[in-house]
Structure 1
Amino acid sequence: MLPTSTPLFSSDDRYRVRCAVPPATDATLPLAYEPYLYLRPAYVALQHAPGETLFFYLEDHQQGQTVGQWPLTVVEHQAYSPWQAPFGGMQVAPGVLVATMRAFATAVHQTLVTNGVARVHLRAYPTSYDEAASNVLLPVFEELGYRITLTETSYTLPLAQSFEGGLHPSARRRLRKCHRHGLRVEQETPLFLPLAYAFMQQCRQEKNQRMSLSLERLQALFRAFPNDYFLFSVRDAAGVWAAMTVLTRVSDEVLHCIPPASPLSWNTFSPAILLTQGLHAFGQASGYRLLDLGTSTLPDGPSESLHTFKRRLGGVASSRLTLEWRDSEMAK
């Protein structure tokens, strides 16, 4: 059995590590931060992993708050964070000391190993989300024996800046062409999701790509998180769809969108640029800090054309790392 709550430091009972398992996966003490959507128990529960889900919380009993968390799914002696999501990993509140982060990561890791886990897969959030914590946590995990197995480039748009001001000249010309021809951005009702999915799927097929999520899973996410999932499109003057994307509210600072889908027949307009302008305006007006354009890794591999597109949108590159730890006996 996993311990429910244990002191983080033997000399001080201020910090404790709590391990929660379904159905009681919520933090016991109030959160000192807003957890990223993909790390919340309700989201993790929708992943339907064929194993046990564990939620580790870092509690500050002096402040009476939860100041960190790390959800993992254990399947056949392997732990995954996430099992099925854009990212998982550890999140901590601002102001948590490096020594406390290190002790929390070590305590969770040792608990996993003690309970028979021989391999851990960790896909972290993009460093642009929280550069201070990312710069601390990477060496902490490396000290524990984790190794980087994949480095992806993620692109974000800082929403405090002008959208048009960051555009490459060629992208700016196409944006203005979209405006001249009467194209407009719309926030669509989720009732259109089956039709929108079919549209996006057809666009992907034209480019020999595939959807990363099934319609059923996307519908489940929209139902479970009606305030966090949005459907945005570009329509022409006749109301016909020219581009489509799904926008996700990751936190009160970050929005994330999947790569916009658009038919090849609209390539000379690039309505995805207009769509991104609409998402930028939505995020800026709502007080968000970043619009995450995602990585340029499609289900079939990296896409150089996506890299180029996101750079020309003014996207700022940052790293999204995948790390792995293996038991030394297993690695032999």
Structure 2
Amino acid sequence: MEEYSFYEGELTPDYKLAFELAIFNRREHLLLQSLTGWSSFYIINKKERSIVAAIFFNTKDRVAISPFKSPFGGIDFCEDVPNPILFNFLLFVEEILHRNKVTKVILKNPPEKYNNLLPAVTTMLIDHGYNKMEDISAIIEINAPNIESSLRHSDKRRLLKSREAGLTFQKLNIDHLRDVYTFIEECRSSKGYKLSMEFRDLEKTVQTFPHDFLLFAVFYNDRIAAASISIRVKRNVLYDFYHDHHKDFNYFSPVVMLINGIAEYCYMEDIKLLDLGTSSINNSTNVSLLNFKLKLGATPSTKFTFEKTLA
């Protein structure tokens, strides 16, 4: 275990990442969330001069949160980091934050399917005295070119009717961002909901990561019936950030065709996980929405938020 050490602060460029940082933990995205207030913590493999784990907190009013303004952030790490090292690293991070007068820590981890060691991290945080709040993500594991075999009979029938009626799935150029955003915003508004992100903030993020944001839509002639804004969180994970459909197409349930098309794209691009997100509305699980996602072939994956008040 002597080859590992813990570090706070910015590292010199000669340290290389031994794993892929999720987009929400990349420096460019952190600075979009806030230009100031960041603390960086790393586990270093001294022999390899490599970074094997990282976590980033933004502190405001003595509350340290990871991430500051993203669906999740939390700890990112190689899957071969020994558990005792991770356990002690979390203690190290907490001690530094406490020394810096932080009174509360909030940590939003990704869904546990993202990393095989995340369930172990959950246990470690509980052992360290953190309280956990649970949400459920729905994730499709991509092992076939489409999801049709996992659909219930009624959804297979809707998919067939959609095709017979002339509905088509398309991947759109990022130049259509405003059109897709406006469509989804109007669909949500008709149901009494608001999008969590203003267009100007989304546009700025897309301009920073132009290759990591993907647009998909289902069309009837030239009219959008359903659409998605998705984020390639990692090489092997696509996150369906926003999607919705117009009520005029309820009969066809065009989201079935939309998700089937996105799954096919994932298969072609060797993306292993399609994250359909949580099903929470106003901090409460929408059971019917979750069940709809599960009937599309998704499986539930727990997504935890941890909190601890520091004495």
Band of TM-score, shorter chain: over 0.9
Structure 2 residue 99 is matched with structure 1 residue 114: yes
How many angstroms apart in 2 are the aligned matches of 1:25 and 1:276? 40
How many angstroms apart in 2 are the aligned matches of 1:195 and 1:288? 26
Matched letter for residue 34 of structure 1: E
Counterpart selection for 1:167 from 111, 129, 151 = 151
Structure 2 residue 286 is matched with structure 1 residue 297: no
How many angstroms apart in 2 are the aligned matches of 1:112 and 1:37? 24
| Range 101-110 or range 24-33, more displaced | 24-33
Could you say which residue in structure 2 is the equivalent of 1:81?
A: 66
Does the 8 A contact of 1:168 with 1:314 survive in 2? no
How many angstroms apart in 2 are the aligned matches of 1:26 and 1:46? 22
How many angstroms apart in 2 are the aligned matches of 1:299 and 1:47? 22
Q: How does 1:1-332 map to 2 (within 5 A)?
A: 12=2, 14-20=3-9, 28-48=14-34, 52-130=37-115, 132-148=116-132, 150-161=133-144, 162-236=146-220, 238-299=221-282, 301-328=284-311
| Range 279-288 or range 194-203, more displaced | 194-203
* Cα offset, 1:259, TM superposition: 4.2
How many angstroms apart in 1 are the aligned matches of 2:11 and 2:151? 43
* Cα offset, 1:121, TM superposition: 0.7
How many angstroms apart in 1 are the aligned matches of 2:92 and 2:283? 36
Matched letter for residue 248 of structure 1: I
Matched letter for residue 15 of structure 1: Y
Matched letter for residue 310 of structure 1: K
Does the 8 A contact of 1:201 with 1:210 survive in 2? yes
Q: 1:168 to 1:306 in 2, by over 3 A?
A: same
Matched letter for residue 114 of structure 1: R
* Cα offset, 1:269, TM superposition: 0.6
Matched letter for residue 97 of structure 1: P
User: More relative contact order in 1 or in 2 (CA 8 Å, sep 6+)?
Assistant: 2
* Cα offset, 1:27, TM superposition: 6.3
* Cα offset, 1:26, TM superposition: 7.8
RMSD: 1.7
How many angstroms apart in 1 are the aligned matches of 2:12 and 2:232? 20
TM-score by length of 1: 0.89
Aligned residues: 310
| Range 244-253 or range 194-203, more displaced | 194-203
Secondary structure of 2:261's partner? helix
What are the ranges of 5 or more consecutive residues in structure 1 without an aligned counterpart?
A: 1-8
* Cα offset, 1:55, TM superposition: 1.5
Does the 8 A contact of 2:230 with 2:242 survive in 1? no
* Cα offset, 1:294, TM superposition: 0.5
How many angstroms apart in 1 are the aligned matches of 2:236 and 2:111? 13
Percent of counterpart pairs with the same letter? Answer: 26
* Cα offset, 1:28, TM superposition: 5.0
Q: 1:228 to 1:56 in 2, by over 3 A?
A: same
How many angstroms apart in 2 are the aligned matches of 1:245 and 1:19? 38
Secondary structure of 1:308's partner? helix
Matched letter for residue 47 of structure 1: Q
How many angstroms apart in 2 are the aligned matches of 1:312 and 1:135? 25
Does the 8 A contact of 1:77 with 1:119 survive in 2? yes
Cα deviation code 1:103-162 (max 9, x no counterpart): 1111111110111111001111101111x31121112111221111x2111110011135
Q: 1:210 to 1:235 in 2, by over 3 A?
A: same
